[in-house]
Amino acid sequence: MASNLKNLSDFSGFDIPCGKGMRIAVVAAEWNREITDALLQGAVDTLKEHGVYENDITTVRVPGTFELTFGAKCALESGRFDAVIVIGCVIQGDTRHFDFICDSVTQGITDLNLKYNSPVIFGVLTTDNLQQAQDRAGGKLGNKGSEAAATALQMVAVRDHLLRQQ
Ligand code: DLZ
């Protein structure tokens, strides 16, 4: 989770490349929809602000954060995308589901990043309560979806720079 001092939508100091011509899939969870809708909107807005064509952005919904790994895998297997962004929100409750879901999606997305040559970006909030999620979904600490979108553009540029240099 972001530090209290960091605004997730503040990219000053970061060199965000132009996304013109990049094809991006955004896979978003239905759970905690109030939050994931705001994160998804933040991601799409930021992609467009940085030059990604609307037609090159594909959004898809999966039931929960646990399903993000499979959704991202399908997007990668299609070979159609330069990057995949996963969006979710897991809120700590009295259930151990929190740990299982967070561990699963973190490991799942890491595994995909190791296996495929298109980056998968982690736009998942894992918070103690709803207020912390709202703060990071367009609230006082910015928008984690926007941060994920900017990261996607950076990582596609890194991939292109390093793999196409050979
Ligand atoms: C079951 C569950 C719970 C308890 N909490 C969340 C949550 O906070 N955020 C979320 O995205 N999904 C949650 N889920 C649903 C799981 O991610 C998954 O969809 C179901 O366990 C079915 O596989």
Q: Indicate if ligand 1 lies below 6 Å from the C-beta of 67.
A: yes
Q: Indicate if ligand 1 lies below 6 Å from the C-beta of 11.
A: no
Q: Which atom of ligand 1 is least distant from the CA of 30? A: 11
| Residues in Cβ contact with 68 at an 8 Å cutoff, skipping those fewer than 6 apart | 27, 29, 62, 86, 87, 88, 105, 108, 109, 124
Q: Indicate if ligand 1 lies below 6 Å from the C-beta of 31.
A: yes
CATH superfamily of 20-164: Lumazine/riboflavin synthase (3.40.50.960)
Whole-model pTM over 0.85: yes
| pLDDT of the residue at 51 | 98
Candidate of 1, 31, 62 to mutate for ligand 1, largest count of ligand atoms within 8 Å of Cβ: 31
Residue ranges covered by each domain of the chain: 20-164
- Which residue from 89, 19, 111 is spatially nearest to 57, judged by alpha carbons? 19
Smallest CA separation from ligand 1 atom 16, residue:
64
Looking up tokens 């490991």 gives 107
| pLDDT of the residue at 5 | 57
Q: Which residues have a catalytic role annotated?
A: 97
Per residue of the chain (166 residues), give pLDDT as tens.
455 557 998 887 788 999 999 999 999 999 999 999 999 999 999 999 999 999 999 999 999 999 999 999 999 999 999 999 999 999 998 678 899 999 999 999 999 999 999 999 999 999 999 999 999 999 999 999 999 999 999 999 999 999 986 5
